[in-house]
Every structure is written in structure tokens, then in C-alpha cells.
């Protein structure tokens, strides 16, 4: 009986990944028109205890080929206890040719503590038509804003999810980079197929006016995580034909994966913690089915290893087909060689974190959250 149930989950999972493969291949690589379109942007960077990253992040933005008169930067210092505030202030004084604003939440009479509230406050201060939301530990190439501006002009987008890549040196980091590339591919494919599920706040661009038309984070502002995906779902509900994935290498932002297993565990617990909060029950159903499939593989590997191994091989094969096309975009096709090891790691953490992230607390930026 258990074997038959597992086979049903296997068929579902194989079909799901093949659908994502089809969706990814349908996304056309964006071709610039060569007109160098101009849009006005406000780049919002929430930052908490980012003294190791914030200067690199800001430097990669002020070094854009895009005219400094066409964008502003708002850094939201979210009660940092390190030198983030001082570093940003020093950077501002040395780069007076760019409009950079530092908002210190400590100084506000209104109590703002969670990331969504901090982002909303910054958006209210923004002067631009479009918000480019990114993280303080991200860097990007010099043509990032120009390619986004051209894409908006071509597509008329209200919401854009642009690619995020993990920079990796160690074996542990490469495993994470492989998995995260798959998540980017799934998120992009789902948007293409008009059934969006996930994205990353490290590289989101959206209309300021539309943000308030969908009531921003209202309704999920008390949930610590999900500043990206909940917003994606609200935009899609109101503007289903103006949500796009920007498939172009100049649009990539780069960030570092978790440095340790403990750090990775806390990150994934944070990601998983919102999985039961989705209004779209279709997404919840897919997550549950994927979880049960991974659980069944682990169960069979422990108690029926031959059958479990066959399941693992099939899972790896179909995921490999999908991942190859996504990794080709990121110039990381060689990472596919890590897939056999990554599969074991992935199944274990999905099964464990899938439960832990929904019943326990997690630490984020020296805060304990639930």
C-alpha cells in the first residue's frame, strides 16, 4: 500500500518538474531594443547588522552605467547593533553625486521593527515611479538598472522578479548554489505559466502606485518572512498579465550562501515558516505533496533501500533535466555533477526543516521569531 502511494507521489512530482522545465524554456531571453529607455527608480535596501556587506552593495549600485539623476537609494537601518549606520553615513558623505538617504528606524517615533513595515515606510518616502527592492548583502553588475528600465518599457510590467545567484567557492556553498538555482528556475517558470509561487526579495522591481493599489503587505504584515512571495501573489491577483521574470544575465544580483549548517538551518526555517500562510491553497497542496514525496523516499531508503534508491534515481534524473537548463543560464552547468550528493542533503533537510520550520522559532539577524 505504501509503495503504491509513493508511486502516485512520484508520478505527480515527475509531471510537476517537467511542467516547470517547459515553463522555463518558454521564457525568452530578453533582447534589448538599444534605445536606452529611461525610468525613475528608488532602490530600497533594508539593512540590519550588515557591516560586512553594505559598502559593497552600495558601491555596486552607484557604479551603474545608468544616470545618477534617474535613481535614488534609500537604506533602511533596521535597529542595527553593529557599525552599519556609521558605514552608510560615511558612504553618503563620499558619494554626494548620488541621492542616498539613510532612514534609522531607531529615530522614528512610530515603532517599526519587522522587515515588511520597514520596507513600507521607505516606499512611502520614495520619489520614483518604480521600486527596486534588494538586500544589503547583494551586489550586481553595472548594467543592472538599464536592463530593468528597458524591460519595463518593453513589457509594461507592474512587478518583475529578476534572477538571483549564489556565489560559491566551497563544496557546501556549491551545493546551496545548485539548489537555489533550481528555486529561481521554479519561481520563474511558475510566473511564466501564470501560476506564481515563489520569488526572492533580493531582486524585485515593482510599481510604487501598484504597491499601494494592492495594499502592500496588509494582511500578512505580522508574518516576519514572506516580504517577497506574499507581495507577488497580491500583484498577480490584481495584475495577472503584468507580472514577469526578467531573463537576462545583466539583471542578476549576486549574494553569498549560508556560511555554516547552523546558519543554513535558521534561514530555511524562516523560509518554511510562511508555508502554511498562503491564501492560494494550490501552492500549499504542492508543498505538502512535495514534502510527502521526499518523506516517502527517505522512508524507503531506510526500510526498503532498493526501492528507495530507484525512487532517488528517477527523482535525480528528472530534476537533472530541469536543472541543466537553469544552470546553463547561470553558466554553472558543471554544478550538475554535485546533484547525487545534493539529493541526499536536500531530502534530509526538507523532511526535517519542513516540520521544524512550522512548529518552532528561528533566529534572524539576532532576533528570535516565529
Q: What is the pLDDT of residues 90-143, one digit of tens each?
A: 999 999 999 999 999 887 756 666 778 889 999 999 999 999 999 999 999 999
pLDDT confidence bin for 265, thresholds 50/70/90: confident
pLDDT in tens, 39-59: 999 999 999 999 999 999 999
| C-alpha to C-alpha distance for 223 and 201, rounded to whole angstroms | 15
Q: Which architecture characterizes domain 30-260 according to CATH? A: Alpha-Beta Complex (3.90)
Higher pLDDT, 280 or 322: 322
Higher pLDDT, 13 or 35: 13
Q: What proportion of the chain, given as a percentage, has pLDDT over 90? A: 71
Instruction: Produce one character per residue of 292-310: b if its CB has 16 or more CB atoms within 10 Å, e if not.
Output: bbbbbbbebbeeeeebbee
Q: What pLDDT is recorded for position 103?
A: 94
Q: What pLDDT is recorded for position 370?
A: 53
| C-alpha to C-alpha distance for 147 and 170, rounded to whole angstroms | 31
Residue where the block lists cell 545548485:
178
- 162: nearest Cα among 173, 175, 151, 177: 151
Predicted TM-score of the model (pTM):
0.92
- Where do the H-state alpha helices sit in 2-130? 2-26, 54-62, 84-94, 115-125
174 contacts 211 by C-beta, under 8 angstroms: no
| C-alpha to C-alpha distance for 362 and 258, rounded to whole angstroms | 15
342 contacts 181 by C-beta, under 8 angstroms: no
Check whether 73 has a pLDDT greater than 90: yes
In whole numbers, what is the pLDDT of the chain averaged over residues? 90
Averaged pLDDT for residues 340-347: 92
Averaged pLDDT for residues 282-298: 88
Check whether 368 has a pLDDT greater than 70: no
| C-alpha to C-alpha distance for 259 and 252, rounded to whole angstroms | 21
pLDDT confidence bin for 357, thresholds 50/70/90: low
Question: Which residue ranges does the chain devote to CATH 3.90.550.10?
Answer: 30-260
Amino acid at each position: 500500500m505504501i509503495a503504491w502511494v509513493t508511486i502516485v507521489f512520484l508520478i505527480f512530482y515527475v509531471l510537476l518538474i517537467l511542467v516547470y522545465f517547459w515553463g522555463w524554456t518558454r521564457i525568452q531571453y530578453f533582447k534589448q531594443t538599444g534605445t536606452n529607455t529611461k525610468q525613475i527608480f528608488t532602490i530600497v535596501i533594508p539593512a540590519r547588522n550588515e557591516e560586512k556587506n553594505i559598502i559593497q552593495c552600495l558601491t555596486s549600485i552607484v557604479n551603474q552605467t545608468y544616470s545618477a539623476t534617474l535613481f535614488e537609494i534609500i537604506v533602511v537601518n533596521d535597529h542595527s547593533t553593529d557599525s552599519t549606520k556609521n558605514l552608510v553615513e560615511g558612504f553618503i558623505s563620499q558619494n554626494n553625486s548620488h541621492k542616498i538617504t539613510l532612514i534609522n528606524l531607531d529615530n522614528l517615533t512610530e515603532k517599526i521593527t519587522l522587515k515588511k513595515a520597514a520596507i513600507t515606510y521607505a516606499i512611502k518616502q520614495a520619489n520614483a515611479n518604480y521600486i527596486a527592492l534588494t538586500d544589503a548583502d547583494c551586489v550586481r553588475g553595472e548594467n543592472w538598472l538599464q536592463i530593468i528600465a528597458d524591460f519595463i518599457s518593453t513589457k509594461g510590467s507592474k512587478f518583475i522578479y529578476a534572477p538571483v545567484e549564489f556565489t560559491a567557492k566551497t563544496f557546501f556553498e556549491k551545493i546551496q548554489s545548485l539548489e537555489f538555482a533550481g528555486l529561481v528556475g521554479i519561481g520563474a517558470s511558475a510566473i511564466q505559466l501564470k501560476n506564481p509561487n515563489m520569488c526572492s526579495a533580493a531582486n524585485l522591481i515593482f510599481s510604487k502606485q501598484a504597491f499601494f493599489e494592492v495594499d502592500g503587505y496588509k494582511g500578512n504584515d505580522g508574518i516576519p518572512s514572506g516580504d517577497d512571495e506574499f507581495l507577488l501573489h497580491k500583484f498577480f491577483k490584481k495584475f495577472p498579465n503584468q507580472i514577469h521574470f526578467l531573463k537576462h544575465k545583466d539583471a542578476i544580483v549576486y549574494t553569498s550562501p549560508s556560511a555554516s549548517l547552523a546558519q543554513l538551518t535558521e534561514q530555511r526555517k524562516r523560509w518554511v515558516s510562511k508555508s502554511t500562510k498562503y491564501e492560494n491553497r494550490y501552492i500549499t497542496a504542492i508543498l505538502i505533496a512535495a514534502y510527502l514525496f521526499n518523506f516517502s523516499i527517505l522512508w524507503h531508503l531506510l526500510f526498503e533501500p532498493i526501492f528507495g534508491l530507484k525512487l532517488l534515481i528517477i527523482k535525480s534524473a528528472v530534476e537533472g533535466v530541469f536543472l541543466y537548463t537553469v544552470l546553463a543560464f547561470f553558466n554553472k552547468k558543471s554544478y550538475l555533477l554535485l546533484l547525487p550528493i545534493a539529493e541526499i542533503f536536500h531530502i534530509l533537510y526538507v523532511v526535517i526543516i519542513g516540520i521544524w520550520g512550522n512548529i518552532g522559532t528561528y533566529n534572524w539577524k539576532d532576533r528570535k521569531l516565529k
